[in-house]
Homo-oligomer: A and B are copies of this chain.
């Protein structure tokens, strides 16, 4: 069964795709045009009542929220492809902890930076230098804690790559490339080595080469 993944060529869609590739799961993407408001149309709202992407359909099973989708596939196909949950329940606990840190501490400031720097010009949102500076400071503090953590273990949850690491890929890619803020990563030795490691995984390179619309 080919998994259908609905969403625009945007960060959280890529979070799902990189994990599907790591788990060797066949998928096809179904574009959703946010600028046309397709995610708020009646057909889409039947599948996702909040009008948010991405979502998957796998036979008659529908699931949304990118971090729920990646947990589901990592568990369902635990022994297929890369194991992304750790070997023990204690390791999985740490994967969950760092997935929550990504969602609660890392994502809000980096998302605001993407919104201010990349989306504001497209969407006509006024540019706010003060907000950008505040969010960059917040993200910097989070990265300082990552630097300390990654000086003790190769990946966030331990010495194994997991959902927690991969979940950082899409938005950090924007930071390093399109936003020209690669110094935030490069200036931190262990964060930089971690980024080089996870962003050079074949799964992520494949996501970046997909012709997503």
Contacts and interface: CB of A to CB of B under 8 A. Distances in A.
Closest 3 CB pairs of A and B: A65-B100, A72-B93, A68-B96
Contacts of A3: none
B49 A68 contact: no
11 contacts: A49-B145, A49-B148, A50-B145, A61-B90, A63-B94, A63-B97, A65-B96, A65-B101, A67-B96, A68-B100, A76-B93
Interface string A140-159: 00100100110000000000
A101 B105 CA distance: 17
Interface majority SS (helix, strand, loop, mixed), chain A = helix
A18 interface: no
Interface in A48-98: 49-50, 61, 63-65, 67-69, 71-72, 75-76, 89-90, 92-94, 96-97
A50 B101 contact: yes
A86 to B, nearest CB: 11
- Chain multiplicity (copies): 2
A138 to B, nearest CB: 11
Contacts of A50: 101, 105, 142, 145
Interface in A87-122: 89-90, 92-94, 96-97, 99-101, 103-105
Contacts of A149: 49
Contact of A75 (B65, B92, B105): B92
Interface residues of A, number: 30
A159 B144 CA distance: 44
A144 B101 CA distance: 29
A89 B68 contact: no
Contacts of A105: 50
Nearest to A66: B100
A145 B45 CA distance: 10
Nearest to A61: B90
A99 B71 CA distance: 12
Given A72-B90, A76-B93, 17 more contacts: A49-B148, A49-B149, A50-B101, A50-B142, A63-B93, A63-B94, A63-B97, A65-B96, A65-B97, A65-B100, A68-B96, A68-B97, A72-B92, A72-B96, A76-B89, A103-B103, A103-B104
